[in-house]
Structure 1
């Protein structure tokens, strides 16, 4: 078989000519019609590097790219001669030693040239990986170096409950009619108590609307404090907003538009919010980048968030415009919408919300569902257990972060340093996903009751015990630089203890990434969407493979990766007869007896 021929290419950094190199394209990418199609070549077969990425302190560029854009190698590039092209070699050494990538921009896509080590001495060589969103690489580089993920909060009934005079009146009217129609004395008693709570808070709000003051029990008079805030308009003028804070009651009275009294709002903050907020930025170290996604109006959403984060510790004033995201009522929330400016990749983000179905289906595995905050209907629900709902959410976030970076450090980073230019793209390791470390919806508080009288650590242990299932094996100490509470939580996060080989031994011949990459390539060539959906039931992971929304494979296992591997293999087997023409060029890469060309891609069997 003939080896794949390279495309002779001139490489420029801006207007500076660096040298000549050969470009090698994967043989399964069909280039028979136009060899230069979809390649960053100008009319003169030139590659022009626009700029270098920022320096990465600890994460090599390939580890970042595999996390945010897995198996996205578009081509390989190798300098023709070091002696005749010394500038290109010096450029290569600079990128290699400083953990920088060379960026080629075109449209919304970024192409990153990654300097790769070679098994051949003194060879300047690169892999080119694609990132579909500009700016995403830089954002995620910073987050991964800082060991930081993203967290997205819903507002209403997740962190706060807010009412205007109109909403109070409507709820009181509905509840009064229900009481009149109810015959059960027990239900009447419960609804009457709820009605009383609504009336009491409505009366306080009425005082605030009429006189900018409230009278509490014992005839204590509180008047408004005018807090200076930035308006939501483009000019961001400073306005004075009348506010009364009752911290001992977790209550704030505010006015969305200071000029219109009817926009006054009575807000109840969910207990333990301060504990969760403190964890996110403890000791000045940001553990999560914070976003808000709500179906509320923008002015209202910005004010509610200001009440939750008055010192702007979680979201700075400059970030508010991009990070408080309002979607239209009835529309689906999605992480793609939240991160439309390239602030984070969805697989590095988790969501805290009281509703799962409002989120796009592909984002639902990353949602931690909390019980709706219902201070009028069930005022004791937050305090009935020793650990409040938001403290449980804090424990979940801690475990997710610990598990994610354990996988990132102990698996992905370690294996990335073992990948050479001559390797194949399918040799890249699995990259972690936040959804790997979140319990499925059925475990979000439903099957893990928290009895009274136990502390946060015990609750955390019991929640994770649903998956640990009595496994007392010690996990190896992490190499990540976590704070002590992160490391303890990471050790408890059993879902982070991933096994890249099936215990049954039937899959020992190939890494899960190979099967997944093959399926994704088939989907790309068929213009079909390939989805993996995982659930946890009866202490077993189940993964389904959907090909254009049709289920083509399913796998079960004690770990998510084991189930995913089995599902991918079964899906490939089911596709073999119908899509043999697509599988052929790729699946040949799985044969153990197939030689690889010197540039690291499979030999071109079509020539």
Structure 2
């Protein structure tokens, strides 16, 4: 639990808790009107922390419009979290004008202070968090302003409250190995060329065995494309229609033809059920089920799971569905924000809501 907090508003002459307004010699304040949505809260003086161009105030149109309050922090005060995840230090400080009194602003201040919340101002893809601080002036609420990427603070608070960090998975060549007919042909051709110039008999034997596996898997995929069945160890296995839960409302129900070959730890699926050329042969990493069981052991999630990949979105969502069919790691309502597809060369973590937050990247 967080440590007890000092009184938010000090008695006259007490000196308060040190939050207060600007330090001696700080730039002069700028008067602004403050709103919560469309409700006028009162007027505040805003004090930049630096002089000159670097001390520009982050509020557009010289007004402060709070859109919502952040989730409540159960373990850490907002300022401690923001000073950990924010790329900059405190941007500016706000202090309410003592006269005339504004009860709405005072109530917002007390709520934020007592409940470990911050008042959030959204500016583009950035959130400005106003943190209630102990005030040196009686009945003059004081806030410190920190900026973070949109969604980062809420994700951080959620993980801290649950004592649960984030883990970010890549898909291809990490959790799965997926091939189409074309990629099988490319892999076989590449290995064949390498064998022609290889002199080490051990390596040649290894590449030969790998080519043999690719040829067998390619034949299974070809049979799946042509007949919606595969012959596995003399046994004909047909497809099962598996329903794909829509990621967003309004989408039509989709049923994909799927064949699961448990002994091979392989799955055949079709990304677009109407297009046989989108058929894919997928092999899961052997230890995936053990890892998935560990991540959800005893009914408690050990990590908040995200997926970041350069694959196409429909493909990525289907691969994750095969890996987590019950939605035990990412529930179906969170898929649209937890499965992130980025362009080649783009830093993956910048597209996640957990940027700069302590996490484990598995790739």
CA distance in 1, matches of 2:197, 2:88: 63
Tell me the alpha carbon deviations over residues 218-242 of structure 1, each in whole angstroms, 9 at most, x when there is no partner. Answer: x333222111114789853222212
Figure out how many residues of one structure are paired with residues of the other and give that number. 340
**RMSD between aligned residues:** 3.4
User: Which residue, 348, 359, 363 being the options, matches 1:334?
Assistant: 348
The residue aligned with 1:284 is 299
Judge conservation of contact 2:93–2:145 (CA < 8 Å) in 1: no
- Higher mean C-alpha deviation, range 51-60 or range 239-248: 51-60
Note the residue ranges of structure 1 that are not aligned, 5 or more in a row: 354-607
SS in 2 for 1:347: coil
Judge conservation of contact 2:57–2:92 (CA < 8 Å) in 1: no
> How does 1:546-585 map onto structure 2 within 5 Å?
none
Note the residue ranges of structure 2 that are not aligned, 5 or more in a row: 1-22
Judge conservation of contact 2:34–2:40 (CA < 8 Å) in 1: yes
CA distance in 1, matches of 2:126, 2:198: 61
Judge conservation of contact 1:154–1:352 (CA < 8 Å) in 2: yes
Higher strand share: 2
Judge conservation of contact 1:13–1:48 (CA < 8 Å) in 2: yes
Judge conservation of contact 1:78–1:123 (CA < 8 Å) in 2: no
> How does 1:118-133 map onto structure 2 within 5 Å?
118=135, 120=136, 122=138, 124-133=140-149
Judge conservation of contact 2:88–2:147 (CA < 8 Å) in 1: no
Judge conservation of contact 1:251–1:267 (CA < 8 Å) in 2: yes
Judge conservation of contact 1:228–1:241 (CA < 8 Å) in 2: yes
Please report the TM-score for the alignment, with normalisation by the length of structure 2. 0.79
SS in 1 for 2:301: coil
User: Which residue, 103, 128, 132 being the options, matches 1:111?
Assistant: 128
Say if 2:38 is the partner of 1:38: no
Say if 2:360 is the partner of 1:345: no
User: Which residue, 68, 76, 84 being the options, matches 1:67?
Assistant: 84
CA distance in 2, matches of 1:259, 1:10: 57
Judge conservation of contact 2:48–2:57 (CA < 8 Å) in 1: no
Task: Give the superposition deviation at 1:254.
Answer: 1.6
Tell me the alpha carbon deviations over residues 530-566 of structure 1, each in whole angstroms, 9 at most, x when there is no partner. Answer: xxxxxxxxxxxxxxxxxxxxxxxxxxxxxxxxxxxxx
SS in 1 for 2:91: strand
SS in 1 for 2:206: helix
Query: CA 1:228–1:89 in 2, change beyond 3 Å: closer, same or farther?
Result: closer
The residue aligned with 1:253 is 268
Higher helix share: 1
User: Which residue, 185, 188, 206 being the options, matches 1:169?
Assistant: 185
Tell which has more relative contact order, 1 or 2 (C-alpha 8 A, sep 6+). Answer: 2
CA distance in 1, matches of 2:284, 2:106: 59
User: Which residue, 214, 218, 228 being the options, matches 1:212?
Assistant: 228
SS in 2 for 1:310: coil
